[in-house]
A = this chain, B = another copy of it.
Amino acid sequence: MAKPQPINYEDASPEVRAVFDDIKTSRNVPDVNNIWKYLARDPVTLRRTWSSVKEVMAPGALDPLVKELVYLAVSVTNNCGYCVASHTAGATKAGMTEAMFGELMAVVGMANETNRLVTGYRVPTDAAFE
């Protein structure tokens, strides 16, 4: 297997095009992002992943902006460059301002710091949390 290559709309099979069409309609965009073009190598994973993302990111008890902020926070913690770029864009589209971004990064940084302090000091869970 060589390095994975993207599949563009014009070269896609009908089942892949159907997913691409649903992404474009749902998000009101002229083309899908690179992640979908690469997942198209495996139509089963493409369909399942899009279907899951669509369900998970829909408005619910949490609004779409909060969900995008959380997605970005996880992507930063996992050090995933593509994901940081795409979810910064996604969160911005959902309403994230630069001030929100700054506070988000501050919280993400602090959480990563205190998570390790807790581990290093071997802090036992408070009875009140059980």
Contact = CB atoms under 8 A, between A and B. Distances in A.
A18 interface: no
Interface in A11-51: 33-35, 38-39, 41-42, 44-45, 48-49
Nearest to A93: B1
Give the oligomeric copy count: 6
Nearest to A100: B61
Interface of A: 1-4, 33-35, 38-39, 41-42, 44-45, 48-49, 52-53, 55-57, 60-62, 66-67, 69-89, 91-92, 96-126, 128-130
21 contacts: A1-B91, A3-B88, A3-B122, A33-B126, A34-B126, A35-B118, A38-B121, A49-B109, A49-B113, A53-B114, A56-B103, A61-B103, A62-B104, A70-B73, A70-B104, A74-B77, A85-B129, A86-B125, A89-B128, A112-B112, A113-B113
